Amino acid sequence: MHISAPSPDAGFISYTPGYWPGHDNTQWDSYRWQLKNRVTTLTDLEKHLNLCDEERSGVLLSGSKLAMAITPHFFNLIDPDNPDCPIRRQVIPRIEETLDTPGEMLDPCGEDSHMPVPGLVHRYPDRVLFLITDRCAAYCRYCTRSRVVSGAGEQELDIDFEEAFSYLERTHSVRDVLLSGGDPLLLSDARLENILSRLRKIPHIEFIRIGSRIPIFLPQRITPELCTMLSKYHPLWMSIHANHPREITTEVREALERLANCGIPMGNQSVLLRGINDNAETMRTLLHKLLICRVRPYYLYQCDLIKGSSHLRTSLSKGLEIIESLRGHTTGYAIPQLVIDAPGGGGKVPIGPEYVVKRDETQIVIRNYEGKKFVYPEPSALLNPSALLGD
Ligand SMILES: *Cc1c(COP(=O)(O)O)cnc(C)c1O
């Protein structure tokens, strides 16, 4: 098989500290400095990048939809001269976001209609999604919750913490709570600890996880103090969100190591995005880097039908082709489950390449990653007790 040379994105590169006019770089490692110095305006952007017309118009219109905010750390990964840069396209608005394509929705996963209490989405029998903030360190242009995050759109995220805790206390079927938002790690250690300790007091809640892109957008936030606090609430898992291998910098790897070393198992959720990670080579490089950082690739999402995302969506066959290029060819742990979050609120539905060639009551014919066919007989075809008895 042809193995191509590793791309420059395959290595762990430190892109920091960046060139930041008007600031000395001694504060680069402070997450507070990073948050205070986020790029949020057109003027800021143009200080650093050559923008194209589509981006300039997109930035001007983003204030009424999903705000723009980019941490200096993440901004630093952008290629300043290439409008197709895969980092840039994730966080810099484009005019295409104002396009309204048939089928697109403001709430593509039907979350608002599954909230028994403001902030709590209860779709599956045994687990809930608890939205605990509407702010993130930076905003992904394809955000499935853009209707409520960033504070720029018309809708606000209502959260009623007391009602939510009381719902969880009386709803004994819930054994798994997924904290998300917004980004939970944007809350202070004290605020987050308050929420975690309240949840841990509820005996039927076995499993807590945090969904966060902060390890990628703001690795400086993963302080030893935060890790020590989190490790008091085990079993605590984390789902991070990386889409492109360049995002896994030296600083990100170190942040992930700190989390792994305090015993937090991590999964990664990627969104399949056109021109960003929709090819097998890029995806494989990303998945391998995640394994090195002790992060297990969990889901690969077909991009939700969120309004204004048509320029970022790919065909379903692209995702299937990528998964097929991985299975058998690389470590099984590296392969995420491709899913569609069913439009309208059906939950996550797994999809994958077909390995079953034929199946009936007697046998199944399967193909392997090389296309070779194999037969596995069904047990009923093997068991014939009367033959054993010699009748
Ligand atoms: C994704 C999601 C979950 C968690 O699903 P898993 O498949 O267990 O990761 C729970 N609730 C909602 C509403 C979700 O969207």
Give residue 181 CA to ligand 1 midpoint distance, Å.
Answer: 13
CA 298 to ligand 1: nearest atom: 9
Q: Quick one: 1-353 is in which CATH superfamily?
A: Aldolase class I (3.20.20.70)
Q: For a ligand 1 pocket test, name from 174, 348, 349, 351 the mutation site with the most ligand atoms within 8 angstroms of its C-beta.
A: 348
Residue 295 contacts by C-beta under 8 Å, 6 or more apart in sequence? Answer: 240, 256, 260, 266, 267, 268
Residue nearest to atom 7 of ligand 1 (CA): 348
> Tens digits of per-residue pLDDT, 130-152?
999 999 999 999 999 999 999 88
Instruction: State which amino acid sits at residue 280.
Output: A
Residue nearest to atom 14 of ligand 1 (CA): 129
Q: For a ligand 1 pocket test, name from 126, 178, 304 the mutation site with the most ligand atoms within 8 angstroms of its C-beta.
A: 178
- Model pLDDT, residue 2: 54
94: its two tokens: 């484009």
- 375 neighbors 363 (Cβ within 8 angstroms): yes
How far is residue 136's CA from residue 133's CA, in Å, rounded to a whole number?
8
- Model pLDDT, residue 1: 47
pLDDT average, residue stretch 373-391: 76
> Tens digits of per-residue pLDDT, 42-79?
999 998 899 999 999 999 988 788 999 999 999 999 99
pLDDT average, residue stretch 337-358: 96
pLDDT average, residue stretch 340-363: 96
Give residue 214 CA to ligand 1 midpoint distance, Å.
Answer: 19
- Model pLDDT, residue 9: 85
CA 341 to ligand 1: nearest atom: 15
**Which residues are known catalytic residues?**
123-124, 127, 136, 140, 143, 145, 304, 341, 348
162: its two tokens: 């007391």
> Tens digits of per-residue pLDDT, 173-222?
999 999 999 999 999 999 999 999 999 999 999 999 999 999 999 999 99
Using CB atoms within 10 Å of the CB of residue 33, give its burial: 0 to 12 exposed, 13 to 18 middle, 19+ buried.
middle
- Model pLDDT, residue 22: 66
Q: What is the CA radius of gyration of the chain?
A: 23
- What count of other Cβ atoms lies within 10 Å of the Cβ of residue 296? 15
- Model pLDDT, residue 391: 58
Give residue 129 CA to ligand 1 midpoint distance, Å.
Answer: 7
Give residue 184 CA to ligand 1 midpoint distance, Å.
Answer: 16
- Model pLDDT, residue 26: 76
Residue nearest to atom 3 of ligand 1 (CA): 129
pLDDT average, residue stretch 233-256: 97
Q: Which residues line ligand 1 (CB under 6 A)?
A: 121, 123-124, 127, 129, 178, 348
pLDDT average, residue stretch 291-304: 97
CA 123 to ligand 1: nearest atom: 13
Give residue 57 CA to ligand 1 midpoint distance, Å.
Answer: 35
CA 122 to ligand 1: nearest atom: 13
What's the chain's average pLDDT? 93
How far is residue 241's CA from residue 140's CA, in Å, rounded to a whole number?
11
Give residue 234 CA to ligand 1 midpoint distance, Å.
Answer: 19
Return the SS3 of 81.
coil
- Give me the residue spans of the domains in the chain: 1-353, 356-389
Minimum mean pLDDT range among 17-26, 210-219, 350-359, 373-382:
17-26
Give residue 352 CA to ligand 1 midpoint distance, Å.
Answer: 19
CA 111 to ligand 1: nearest atom: 13
Q: For a ligand 1 pocket test, name from 111, 126, 127, 168 the mutation site with the most ligand atoms within 8 angstroms of its C-beta.
A: 127
Give residue 300 CA to ligand 1 midpoint distance, Å.
Answer: 13
Core vs surface per residue 134-165: b (16+ CB within 10 A) or e: bbbbbbbbbbbbbbbbbeebeeebebebeebb
CA 127 to ligand 1: nearest atom: 10
pLDDT average, residue stretch 370-375: 98
How far is residue 279's CA from residue 5's CA, in Å, rounded to a whole number?
16
